[in-house]
């Protein structure tokens, strides 16, 4: 698979992702664990939504042969939950047959029905502070904030 081959295995096949796939006992637990995993962040960052969908479709054509095949399918699926433009691809996601994996349909439903779109904002906050000579100075703080996506 071309898209899967463009990703570094060691960044997707993390021990924590393997553990989540092997030991999760509910779809919601697996979704929660993988959303927090670096493997899902890596895929969501490296690939466009359409590329993730193509990879998921290709990966889920056949029954997984082993745990790693299953891991890749779940990582692709959960990576979609981090994409803000998933709404545009809802029909394509719903067209993918996920019956080969235990919680595929349930996770798909969770990520499409419970969407909270987000934006990342870089902020800069300046606060005046006193110094001894001029009695004024500026303290500056930088940060990143994850906030709700504004509907346009």
User: Which ranges constitute the DSSP H helices of 8-103?
Assistant: 9-12, 15-23, 27-35, 38-46, 49-59, 67-79, 90-95
Q: Where are the domains of the chain?
A: 2-116, 119-148
Asked whether residue 1 carries a pLDDT value surpassing 50, the answer given is no
More confident residue, 92 or 151: 92
pLDDT single digits (tens) 69-116: 999 999 999 999 999 888 899 999 999 999 989 999 999 999 988 655
Top-confidence residue, 4 or 52: 52
Query: Which range has the worst mean pLDDT, 55-59, 112-116, 124-128?
Result: 124-128
Average pLDDT over residues 54-77: 93
Mean pLDDT in residue range 18-42: 93
Q: Binning pLDDT at 50, 70 and 90, where does residue 119 land? A: low
In the predicted structure, residue 133 carries a pLDDT above the cut 80: no
Cα dist. 109→12, 46, 68, 103, 148 in Å?
23, 24, 23, 10, 21
**pTM of the shown model:** 0.73
């Amino acid at each position: 698979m071309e898209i899967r081959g463009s990703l570094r295995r060691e960044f997707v096949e993390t021990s924590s992702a393997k553990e989540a796939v092997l030991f999760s006992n509910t779809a919601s637990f697996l979704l929660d664990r993988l959303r927090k995993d670096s493997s899902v962040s890596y895929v969501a960052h490296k690939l466009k939504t359409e590329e993730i969908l193509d990879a998921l479709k290709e990966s889920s054509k056949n029954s997984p042969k082993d745990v790693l095949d299953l891991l890749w399918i779940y990582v692709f699926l959960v990576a979609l939950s981090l994409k803000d433009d998933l709404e545009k691809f809802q029909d394509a996601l719903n067209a993918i047959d996920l019956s080969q994996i235990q919680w595929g349909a349930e996770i798909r439903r969770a990520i499409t029905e419970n969407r909270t779109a987000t934006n990342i904002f870089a902020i800069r906050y300046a606060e005046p502070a006193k110094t001894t000579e001029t009695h004024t100075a500026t303290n500056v703080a930088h940060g990143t904030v994850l906030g709700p996506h504004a509907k346009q």
